Amino acid sequence: MTIELDPQQQAARDWFEQLRDSICAAFEAIEREAGSDAAFEYTPWHRDDPSGAPGGGGVRGQIKGKVFEKAGVNVSTVAGTFEGEFAKSIHGAAEDPSFFATGISLVAHMANPHVPAVHMNTRFLVTTKRWFGGGADLNPPIPYGEDTQDFHARLKAACDAHDPEHYPRFSKWADDYFYIPHRKVHRGVGGIFYDHLEGDFDDNFAFTRDVGSAFLDIFPKLVRRRMNTPFDETDKARQLSWRGRYAEFNLVYDRGTTFGLKTGGNVDAILMSLPPLAAWE
């Protein structure tokens, strides 16, 4: 059984799927430039909601290539009822645990340690309230100031086109959120993070689209800038150690991981954020 969507839900779903297609095409184009024929493999999945209502599902996209050691670009559209105490942790679900969620989630782990890894996620949720959330953050094992500056500048431009308060607020939110308390370090060089953006649907949807478009504009440029940089065993060891920290954050603190597991999502899609190799010393 399929989920019945209202016009706002359908519009959001259509955009996330369109953005997925554009990002995957951009990543495959980079692989071609590197002399690789790697392409995304797509795996559909479905979920059964415990309430008995249609549960929805999604498509897990994954590529393993010469430049992208492992990248996942997932889209999902799910609905149902939050179980037990988890409902109390979700905006607008404490009194009525029914929900709808659609979104895109992306993580790219790169073969060359000089190329930054990256995360991007945007989503639309409906409980007793309707809101957008998401963001993007850069995670370089070997940081370059130029890359960090350009990534932030592009996200700031997307924010400033809608509200001059967005970037200061959302970049700080990213710094606060993408932090590993038990290590006392940030997991990367930041970006933006926002949640519970409710009110005018058209304005908030336009902003969310611009965040996705900004990511699609800037990240391939950073990949092309660094993907042919020579590296040695020391650089690779630094990358593997950094990936260990990344895995710790995603397994212990990441809200998206918790949401996916608590709502019966596809485990492989949820954990696609984990790197193919990591190291702990």
Active site residues: 119
Cβ neighbours of residue 202 closer than 8 Å, sequence gap 6 or more: none
Contact criterion met (CB below 8 Å) for 239 and 113: yes
Q: Is 48 helix (H, G, I), strand (E, B) or coil?
A: strand
The pairing of strands 179-180 and 41-48 is unpaired
Does residue 120 sit in helix, strand or coil?
A: strand
The residue type of 188 is G
- Cα–Cα distance for residue pair 172/191, rounded to 1 Å: 9
Cα 77 versus chain centre, distance: 15
Please tell me the distance from the alpha carbon of residue 109 to that of residue 111, in angstroms, as a whole number. 7
Show the CA angle centred on residue 247, arms to residues 78 and 139, nearest 5°: 95
